[in-house]
Amino acid sequence: MPDNWGFVAAAYGLTALVLGLYWRRLVRREKELDHAGEARARTARDAATTVAERSRQPSRSGHPRSEPASRPPLP
Amino acid sequence: MVRTLGWLSAAALALGLVMAFGVAPREVSQGNVQRIMYVHPPLAWVAYLAFGVVAAASIAYLVRRAPGADRLAHASAEVGVLFTGLAIATGSIWGKPTWGTWWTWDARLTSVAILFVMYLGYLLLRGTVEDRERAARYCAVLGIVAALDMPLVHFSVYWWRTLHQPPSLMKPGGFTGSAAILWPLLVNLAAFTVLYAYLVAKRVRLLRAEAEALA
């Protein structure tokens, strides 16, 4: 019987290709999730910093109120 | 742990290739095309293993409702479908020069095709049911029911007259061929088993990370 090396190469090549592509898909998805997690952590950190900075600032005065005498009478 | 498994599987697969092409002899009746044996049965073995794990993890999920068991079943089903597809494809490639046909509807090939389609349906079901808890429950039931096809696949070569040969290793009396063929086969079986463990561990970790990102 002839050796049929082409069939052997096809079987091994197909297996290597499919398993390699699946592995690469897993690695890529893992990286995407890592980046997304880092971005989420950074946003949360930034938000916490902003609140902390605001709390350290002196409180601003409220809306200026008009003097009672200058207010128009109620209907 | 996962990284170690990855390097271990790469080393084992490299050794398996060396054994398949450097150590194993040229088979007398089939010639070198018989070397497909060092990839096709290991793929089929991992498919059995993967769906066995799906069934066990599905039972564990239905009993305990542990999300970890559901993630293991999901990951194992995905890897199992991949390996079953490859087992069918490499079997078909081997069948053409030895049987003279790419495909025949004999009992072994048909029961494997049914197994493949059932677990493909399992993965589709996961994607279509939006409520995650409900999807996990439905898939656990399907994962157990589909596993009932595995004994049919394995014993089909005994119960019906098929073109496919009976098992070489998993049979009463064990392997009867020469050690020069047995060792490369065993090394490749071990290598593909480690690769399965690596891919499933990686997929489980991803599923956990995805669940945490959605929470």
Question: In a 10 Å sphere around its CB, with 0-12 CB exposed, 13-18 middle and 19+ buried, how is residue B114 labelled?
Answer: middle
Distances (CA, A) of B207 to A71, B120, B213, B214: 65, 18, 10, 11
- State the CB neighbour count (10 A cutoff) for residue B124: 10
CA distance B35 to B18: 12
Is residue A48 a part of any domain in this protein? yes
A10 touches chain B (CB under 8 A): yes
User: Which of the two residues, B27 and A49, has the higher pLDDT score?
Assistant: B27
Is residue A74 a part of any domain in this protein? no
Is residue A57 a part of any domain in this protein? no
Is residue A35 a part of any domain in this protein? yes
- Which chain B residue has its CA at the smallest distance from A6's CA? B33
User: Which of the two residues, B99 and A42, has the higher pLDDT score?
Assistant: B99
Cβ neighbours of B36 in A, within 8 Å: 7-8, 11-12
Which of A41-50, B70-79, B156-165, B186-195 has the least mean pLDDT?
A41-50
- Which chain B residue has its CA at the smallest distance from A34's CA? B209
Average pLDDT over chain B, rounded to whole?
Answer: 92
Domain count, chain A: 1
A6 touches chain B (CB under 8 A): no
- Record the pTM: 0.84
Residue matched to tokens 């290793």: B169
Domain span holding position A40: 20-52
Of A3, A7, A40, the CB nearest to B94: A7
- Element of type H or E holding A28: helix A5-56
Of B33, B195, B213, the CB nearest to A8: B33
Is residue A65 a part of any domain in this protein? no
CA distance B74 to B41: 23
pLDDT of residue A59: 59
Residue matched to tokens 């046909």: B101
Is residue A68 a part of any domain in this protein? no
Which residues in chain A show pLDDT less than 70?
1, 54-66
